[in-house]
Amino acid sequence: MRAQVFSDVDTAYAEVESNIALLKPYKAEVQRPGAAGARQPSPSPTNTAARRSMDFLNAQSDYRQVQLAYGN
């Protein structure tokens, strides 16, 4: 049982390190000074509302995925 616990912890730690390595390029892209302006189309009321809705849905999806991963 003790060996299984150590194995589970090692596996989880390796997964976290892998996820961090995968996120580094995205984080670097988001933090680049000109990146935010380049991604955004011209502001219009429809574009802004649609973007906010999509941001909310994406955030909700991300939250659910994190909660599921945490539960597993």
pLDDT in the model for residue 34: 55
Instruction: Indicate whether 36 and 1 sit together in one domain.
Output: yes
Q: Give the whole-angstrom CA distance, residue 31 versus residue 19.
A: 18
- For residue 5, what are its two tokens? 């616990």
pLDDT in the model for residue 54: 84
> Phi and psi at residue 18, in whole multiples of 5°?
-65, -45
Mean pLDDT by 10 residues, the chain (72 residues): 89 90 75 55 65 85 85 75
SS3 assignment, position 49:
helix
pLDDT in the model for residue 12: 92
Q: Which domain holds residue 9?
A: 1-40
Instruction: Indicate whether 25 and 51 sit together in one domain.
Output: no
